[in-house]
Structure 1
Amino acid sequence: MTVMADRPQILTEEFETLARIAAREIEGLRLELIGGKLGVKAMPDGDHDRIVVWLARICMQHRPEQWLHVERGLKVDQYRSGRARPDASMAPDGAFEGQGEWADPAPVLMVVEVTSYDSDTDGRDRKEKPRAYAETGIPVFVLIDRDNCLVRVHSEPDGQLYETVRTVPFGKDVELPDPVGFSFSTEPLKDWVR
């Protein structure tokens, strides 16, 4: 028997059923399907949650017509066969009304991931998710990397990867390019790392 390297480990429909059952049966279990691979999203700690709330407040100040939707399930990857739960997604209020657990990412201007202190962070947050979000065409991906005390802003997706990646150490101002279009200080992030 030959194993095909590019064949998904699980079909999208099977994943959605499994994710629904897992969420119902095991409190706090959140599954994702990125690049055809099943993954478990780490449970956030208090500092992780604080960062998302802090960023939501900043976004509301600069872009009041947009909302930072927390852990909104999105259809990702080139053919929308993947399923991700970004820590936050910037999209207009009401953008996901009438959609099920996994929404069309078309209205999303930005996704945000905050690294967790687990062994999968490197592969998932720094490699797999940027590729999936770029393939999806999400204009801006922000990675708040607590391990390295950096903010990475990915922009200009070309359908395979983000052409521009800017890295800013905690403590400096970070600029989010259009269509998000504002900047903010990362100084408070220093307080929410181990």
Structure 2
Amino acid sequence: MTPGIAERPQMSVEEFEQLARRAPETVTLEFINGKLKVKPVPDGDHDEMIMWLLEQCMHHRPDLRLYPERGLVVEGYRKGRARSDGALAPRRYFAGHGEWADPSGVLMTVEVTSYDSDTDLRDRKEKGTGYAQAGIPVFLLVDRDSDTLVVHSDPSHGTYQQQVPYKYGDTVELPDPVGITLETGELKDYAG
């Protein structure tokens, strides 16, 4: 393999955005680590988990909103485009933003794993790295394969320095600037 080939993106960010605008509503595209990704359609349990978290966030922090399926400009040099399962930001933060928003006001992103072959690379690795590189303070991964929530925080040098796992049913402390305590017992209802 020729050196440098592996790092070359499949297309430019501009080409990706043009393709994403033309994709049918049934397909959600992301551009992560220089590669085109197709995000699977969420199932009912996935949606219930996001709604549970949305309610928790609004209850504890009425000044914030958890925006589902929000497109964010991520990764080093803003070369990636990720559609997070949830983006926690101050109320009205995304007003006036286009499809792919600047993440500087986002306090936390959320991903709930899917039951597809790409979830390990996409949700557990690449997206977290992209969120850390963008400086998003907290990344919450709800991992349905292991019935855990993993709180990633303290982004520095392109990675989250802290990763704290919790089992469904544990009390989860989301660090500042989020500052929310989650009682996660309800997630057991959605365990596979």
TM-score where L is the length of structure 2: 0.96
Unaligned 5+ runs, structure 1: none
CA distance in structure 1 between the aligned counterparts of 2:40 and 2:91, rounded to whole angstroms: 27
Unaligned 5+ runs, structure 2: none
Report what 1:5 is aligned to.
6
Equivalent residue of 1:132, what SS? helix
Pairing 1:38-187 to 2, within 5 Å after superposition: 38-187=36-185
CA shift for structure 1 position 4? 1.7
Equivalent residue of 1:88, what SS? strand
* Structure (1/2) with the larger strand percentage: 2
CA RMSD of aligned residues (A): 1.2
Moved segments of 4+, more than 3 Å: none
In the TM superposition, what whole-angstrom CA distance separates every residue of 1:63-116 from its partner, at most 9, and x where no partner exists? 100000111100000111100000000001111111111000011000000011
Equivalent residue of 1:87, what SS? strand
CA distance in structure 2 between the aligned counterparts of 1:139 and 1:28, rounded to whole angstroms: 31
CA distance in structure 2 between the aligned counterparts of 1:36 and 1:83, rounded to whole angstroms: 9
Percent sequence identity is: 57
Matching residue's letter, 2:49: I
CA distance in structure 2 between the aligned counterparts of 1:118 and 1:193, rounded to whole angstroms: 16
TM-score where L is the length of structure 1: 0.95
CA shift for structure 1 position 12? 0.3
